[in-house]
Amino acid sequence: MAPFPQPICPSRRSPHYVLLLLLLALLLSSCNVHHRLVLAEAPPSPEWSALLAWKSSLRRHGPLLDSWTSSSNATHPAAPCSTWYGVTCSQWGGQGAGGRRLVVVTAIRLHSRSKSRSDDEPGEASVGAGLVGTLEALDFAALPWLMHLNLRGNVLYGAIPPSIGTLSKLASLDLSLNQLSGELPPSLANLSRLAELDLSFNHITGELFPGFFGNGSSMLVKLRLRHNNITGKIPSEVAHLKRLHLLDLGENQIKGGIPQEMGHLEALRRLSLQNNNLTGPIPASIGSLTKLKALDLSTNQLSKDLPLSLANLSLLVELDLSNNFQLTGELHPQFFTNWTRLVTFTIQWNQITGRIPAEVRYSRSLVTLDIGANNLTGVVPTSLGSLSSLEKASVARNKLYGPLPPSLGNLTSLKIFYADNNYITGRIPLEMGKLANLV
C-alpha cells in the first residue's frame, strides 16, 4: 500500500531528536510560513495545467470556475490549492520530499449543490459549477494523487475516457446526473481502491462485462448505475463485490435472470433492480442477504413462486415486488412473522394466490401495504385492523369475498383504502366512518 500524502513538517521521531532539538524547534515554528511559500511559489505543476487545459476545453462553466486562473501578481499569487473553487490539495512528504512535488491535488468537487440528496432521486436542478462540456480533454494521467472526483449534476456529455483507469488512488467517483454516453470503460476495473461509484442518470449503453466486477479484491461499497441504457445480463461475477452495501442497477434495460450468485453479496443493505427486463424466478439464494433493508425488484418480468427464503430477510424495511405480472405463489405466514420492521410492502400487479394470512399483524410497522391486482382469495383478515401505522392500503382487484372486518375502523392513520373489484359483500363497516382521514 503506497503511503498517503502527509504533512511535510519534520518528524519528532528523528534519531537526532536531542541533539537537534533547538534546530527542530526553529524548523517547526517556521513550518506554516514555509508551507505558504511552497504554495505561492510552486510552478504551474502538471496537475494545474491539466485542470486549466480542461477548463478551457469546456463550452461553458459557471462563475465559480473563474477562480481557476494561472495569472498571478504581487497581491494575488496563483494558489490553486487555496483559491481554486472545488480543488483540495494535500502536502506530500514521501520520497522526493526535498523536490518540488510538495503539494498534490487529492480531490475535485464540482457537483451541483442541491439542498438534500435524497437517497436516489436526482437533486433539484440547481446551479453549481455549471459545467458544460466533455471529459475528453481532462488529462487524468496528470492527476495521480486524486482520491475523490465529484462532478455530479453538470452537463457533461460524450464518453467516459478510458484514461480514467489511471487514477489508481481514486476512492470515490461521482459523475451522476450528467449526459454521459458510450459504454463503461473496461479500465474502470483498474480502480482498485474505488469504494463508491455513481454513474446514475446518464445515457450509458453497453453491457456489464464480467471484468467490471474485478477479481474478488474490489473495495466497492456503493455502486449506482441507475437510469442509464445498460443492456445484457447481470454477470455472475457480480458476486465478487464482497463489500458491497448498495447495488442500484434500476431503470436500465438489463435482461436475463437474477444470478443465483447474488446471494453471496452478504454485506448488501439495498438492492435495486427495478424497471429492467429481468425474467425468471427470484432466486432462493436471496434469502442469504440477511442484512438487506431495501429490496426493489419491481417492474420487471419476474415469474414463478415467491421463495419462502424471503422470510429470512428479517431486517427488511422496504420491499417492492410490484408490476412483474407473473410472480406466483403465496404470501406465506412466515413472511410476516419475520418481517417485523417492514414499513412498505408492495406486490400489486402479479398473480399471487392463496389468502391474506392473519399473521400480517406481526408486520406492525407497515405504513404502506399494496397487495392489489393479484389472485388472492378468502376474506380480509380481522388482524389487518391492528396495523396501527397503516396509512395506505389496497386489496383491490383480487378474488376476496365476504364483508370487510369491522376492525378496520381501528386504523386511525389510514388515509387511503382500496377494496374495489373483489367479491366483497355487505357495506363498508360502520366503524370506518370514524376514520376522519379516509378518502
Ligand X SMILES: *[C@@H]1O[C@H](CO)[C@@H](O)[C@H](O)[C@H]1NC(C)=O
Using CB under 6 A, list all residues that contact ligand X: 69, 71, 73, 75-76, 165, 186-187, 189-190, 192, 203, 214-215, 217, 227-229, 231, 253, 255, 277, 287-288, 290, 308-309, 311-312, 314, 328, 334, 338, 351, 353, 375, 382, 385-386, 407, 410
Q: Which amino acid is residue 26, in one-letter code?
A: L
Residues 92/101, Cβ–Cβ less than 8 Å: yes
Q: How far is CA 201 from the centre of its chain?
A: 11
- Using the minimum distance from each CB to ligand X, give the nearer residue, 161 or 165: 165
Name the residue number minimizing CB distance to ligand X: 287
- Using the minimum distance from each CB to ligand X, give the nearer residue, 75 or 118: 75
Nearest approach, Cβ of 328 to ligand X (angstroms)? 4
Nearest approach, Cβ of 351 to ligand X (angstroms)? 4
Nearest approach, Cβ of 224 to ligand X (angstroms)? 14
The residue to which cell 436500465 is assigned: 252
**Cα 374 from Cα 34, distance rounded (Å):** 73
Could you tell me where the DSSP H helices lie in 44-177? 46-57, 80-83
Alpha carbon distance, N-terminus to C-terminus of the chain: 61
Element (H, E) at 24: helix 21-29
Beta bridge partner(s), residue 89: 105
Nearest approach, Cβ of 272 to ligand X (angstroms)? 15
Residues 213/236, Cβ–Cβ less than 8 Å: no
Residues 246/221, Cβ–Cβ less than 8 Å: yes
C-alpha cell at 232: 445484457
**Cα 340 from Cα 363, distance rounded (Å):** 5
Task: Look at residues 324, 347, 336 and name the one whose alpha carbon lies nearest to residue 396.
Answer: 347
The residue to which cell 458510450 is assigned: 182
Residues 20/11, Cβ–Cβ less than 8 Å: no
**Cα 190 from Cα 217, distance rounded (Å):** 11
- Using the minimum distance from each CB to ligand X, give the nearer residue, 91 or 348: 348
- Using the minimum distance from each CB to ligand X, give the nearer residue, 126 or 375: 375
- Using the minimum distance from each CB to ligand X, give the nearer residue, 90 or 338: 338
- Using the minimum distance from each CB to ligand X, give the nearer residue, 2 or 18: 2
Nearest approach, Cβ of 353 to ligand X (angstroms)? 5
**Cα 365 from Cα 344, distance rounded (Å):** 9
- Using the minimum distance from each CB to ligand X, give the nearer residue, 5 or 165: 165
Beta bridge partner(s), residue 427: none
Nearest approach, Cβ of 358 to ligand X (angstroms)? 11
Nearest approach, Cβ of 95 to ligand X (angstroms)? 20
Give the 3-state secondary structure of residue 387: coil
C-alpha cell at 247: 447495488
Nearest approach, Cβ of 384 to ligand X (angstroms)? 8
Residues 148/109, Cβ–Cβ less than 8 Å: yes
Nearest approach, Cβ of 316 to ligand X (angstroms)? 11
- Using the minimum distance from each CB to ligand X, give the nearer residue, 22 or 430: 430
- Using the minimum distance from each CB to ligand X, give the nearer residue, 129 or 311: 311
